[in-house]
Chains A and B, each alone.
Chain A
């Protein structure tokens, strides 16, 4: 009897040989810290854009993490990125406005850095196009670190440990390029987790949400409450700039600070609604202390402003409905 071999047989043979070969392969020669890794994103999230020159590797993420929490970046070595982005507060600081060098109060509320890889532009006013360029802003801001990227690099070059870590991660020493890449790389490794809401919609776990939360969800996605128009997608933001009627006169002109367009006065980037349970206070200036305050604000329709979004208007929600909305918003927080 003649035996015939299909291409599948050859494939299996090749695979077997391959596996056999890998057994004899000296694994100690593989530097796993230098291998490109995929970010660990939660189910339901799309793959974030990652620049070709700054793929994630364990060495880069670790270097970025160390720099992020190191006050060496500030003039007097007192302020790190972590001073305003606390790991236990989902990378916010719990303050209305952040405190920088010499106890100076900044101009806005620190935004959570979880899922920051998806942001098409950074800051409440979108003034910076990439995470890498964003790194320069707090270093140079006289109210934050009040320093200079070239002087940061000089310090890092003299440091007993950093130069080797930079070579390990980027095959190059400390420079404005590698410092900004490393911190951005670390930031691109930060994601939220699977919430009860995700379990309900992704895995069909109908017990994941309470009756009140489900009613709140209906309201959230209804034309009556209008929330979902701006708070859309898996991050609950469309990244647009909106005036939500917080003030009649804005002390902070928001998007107009960048565009100088009067139509942009009082517009700020729509924030994600994940992890609200950990990220109070709310709004660009942290002026609303609780979620109850936020719901009351939207229920009232806000103050009059020519740039106010058409979706912000009086809602006439009942007490039960407000409660339901708050409960739903809390279900978007990591367990």
Chain B
């Protein structure tokens, strides 16, 4: 008798669950991240001369950063984690596949600038060649202290006192280590994920905001471990450097 009860209960539950699905007509859609890397109001690239917060001219030769642990935030506050997606962002690429998410109204996105500690200390050589965590050329990984560089910013900057010259001196900011990963949450977005829709979260990263408070004339180098203060200053700026676009 007991078995029969259970069977009836399961049937009812199954019927109810399938009715519920029909009501909402929820589908799973591919979701993309549209990401622009900016220097103030200009799109970042490796040819232009940019102006720093304090009016100092600089150029970029490398600007790459890891984003991971994406979570999509629905309007009702519920969250849809996107497992396993890692992006190695750079100025030249704007469109990234995030994964799939249920259709509905979304109001925000959360992600990590950097990587979780397990991924961070893993073996890069196990990933296929086109994977963002595979060894990159130029490298974005510390091989003597196994871990990825979360954000690599390199270029030349004008170091004249009056800031009236041209970019002449190298600067490099290599930010990594578990404790430098920062969570970023962007709210007040309106993304409607639906069948046949654009299904894209539009986000901008502003390098000038990431370098807020950095005196590019005197603070020109950190490999994180050798200049923790400067690395931390930049990492602490990350949450404010990303915004909805």
* A residues neighboring B (CB under 8 Å): 123, 125, 127-130, 132-133, 136-137, 139-141, 148-151, 175-177, 179-181, 257-258, 260
Interface residues on B, range: 20 to 34
Q: Give the nearest-CB partner of B134 in chain A.
A: A176
Query: B119-157 vs A: 1/0 string, CB under 8 Å?
Result: 001011110010000111111010111100000000000
In the assembled complex, B225 has its CB within 8 A of some CB on chain A:
yes
A140 in contact with B139 given A129-B146, A149-B125, A257-B145 (CB within 8 Å): yes
Cβ–Cβ contact B121 & A129, under 8 A: yes
Bound complex: CA A141 to CA B139 (Å): 11
A128–B122 CA distance with the chains assembled, in angstroms: 10
Is there an interface contact between B121 and A136, defined as CB atoms closer than 8 Å? no
CA distance A205 to B178 in the complex (A): 52
Please state if A148 and B121 are interface contacts (CB–CB under 8 Å): no
Question: Would you give 19 A-B contacts (Cβ < 8 Å), ordered by A?
Answer: A123-B144, A125-B145, A127-B145, A136-B125, A136-B135, A136-B143, A137-B143, A141-B144, A148-B135, A148-B137, A150-B135, A150-B137, A175-B125, A175-B129, A176-B125, A176-B135, A180-B125, A257-B145, A258-B145
Closest to B136 in A: A150
* Nearest chain B CB to A255 CB, angstrom units: 11
Flag whether B228 is at the interface (Cβ < 8 A): yes
What are the nearest 4 A-B pairs in CB distance? A136-B143, A176-B125, A127-B145, A137-B143
Query: What's the count of A-B pairs with C-beta under 8 Å?
Result: 60
CB–CB A137/B125 < 8 A: no
Bound-state CA distance A127–B138 (Å) is 21
A177 to chain B, nearest CB (A): 5
Extra pairs beyond A140-B144, A257-B225, A260-B228 (8, CB < 8 Å): A133-B125, A136-B125, A136-B143, A140-B143, A141-B144, A149-B135, A175-B129, A176-B135
Question: A257 to B144, alpha carbons, bound, how many Å?
Answer: 10
Q: Closest residue to A253 on the B side, CB-wise?
A: B225
Closest A residue by C-beta to B147: A127
- A125-B125 Cα distance, complex, nearest whole Å: 22
Contact B225 A127 (CB under 8 A): no
Distance A227 CA – B168 CA, assembled complex (angstroms)? 55
Alpha-carbon separation in the docked complex, A247 to B146 (Å): 27
* Chain A residue contacts of B121, Cβ below 8 A: 129
Cβ contact of B143, chosen from A125, A133, A260, cutoff 8 A: A133
In angstroms, Cα B136 to Cα A137, docked, is 14
* In the complex with contacts A132-B125, A177-B125, A148-B138 CB distance below 8 A: yes
A84 CB to nearest chain B CB (Å): 15
Alpha-carbon separation in the docked complex, A53 to B137 (Å): 25
Q: How far is the CB of B59 from chain A (nearest CB, A)?
A: 23
**Contact between chains at A133 and B123 (CB < 8 Å):** yes
CA of A149 to CA of B126, assembled, Å: 13
Q: Which chain A residues lie closer than 8 Å to B143 at the CB level?
A: 128, 133, 136-137, 139-141
**A148 to B129 Cα, complex, angstroms:** 14
Roughly how many angstroms separate A260 CA and B228 CA in the complex, as a whole number?
9
CA distance A136 to B134 in the complex (A): 12
Query: Which residues on B sit within 8 Å (CB–CB) of A179?
Result: 125
Residues in B neighbouring A123, C-beta threshold 8 A: 144
Complex: A260 Cα to B124 Cα, angstroms: 23
